[in-house]
């Protein structure tokens, strides 16, 4: 039998929480936990149904504040494409690594 299956354990936990935080703060804590859970569920739902957010292809990565997915006018992307490397959906680090490997192989 698991420890948290016993109702007496749950009662002791509730008493301890009331003792530590006071009865007046319990509704605020419950509301904060509820909002956090709602935000978590919303983020998990969005993440599970869509692709990762990528900067627009015509906006340089430096202007979007993200360097994860480079734009088409990035010199690294241009060099990789000249070497025949597929760059769609790859980070700068992945592209650089693949380009380095291919150039060292020559």
* 75 confidence band (pLDDT: 50, 70, 90): confident
3-22 residue pLDDT tens: 778 888 888 988 898 888 88
Run of H or E residues at 26: helix 26-49
Integer Cα distance of 87 and 98 in angstroms: 10
**Model confidence, pTM:** 0.36
Work out the mean pLDDT of the chain and round it to a whole number.
Answer: 77
Integer Cα distance of 80 and 96 in angstroms: 8
20-48 residue pLDDT tens: 888 888 888 888 888 999 998 888 887 66
Helices (H), 2-106: 7-21, 26-49, 61-64, 75-82, 92-105
Integer Cα distance of 81 and 93 in angstroms: 15
Share of the chain above pLDDT 70, in %: 75
């Amino acid at each position: 039998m698991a420890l948290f299956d016993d109702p007496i354990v749950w009662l002791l936990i509730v008493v301890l929480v009331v003792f530590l935080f006071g009865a007046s703060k319990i509704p605020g804590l419950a509301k904060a936990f509820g909002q956090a859970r709602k935000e978590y569920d919303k983020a998990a739902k969005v993440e599970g149904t869509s692709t990762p957010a990528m900067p627009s292809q015509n906006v340089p990565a430096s202007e979007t504040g993200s360097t994860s997915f480079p734009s088409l006018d990035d010199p690294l992307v241009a060099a990789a494409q000249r070497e025949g490397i597929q760059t769609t959906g790859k980070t700068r680090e992945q592209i650089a690594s693949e380009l380095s490997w291919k150039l060292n192989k020559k």
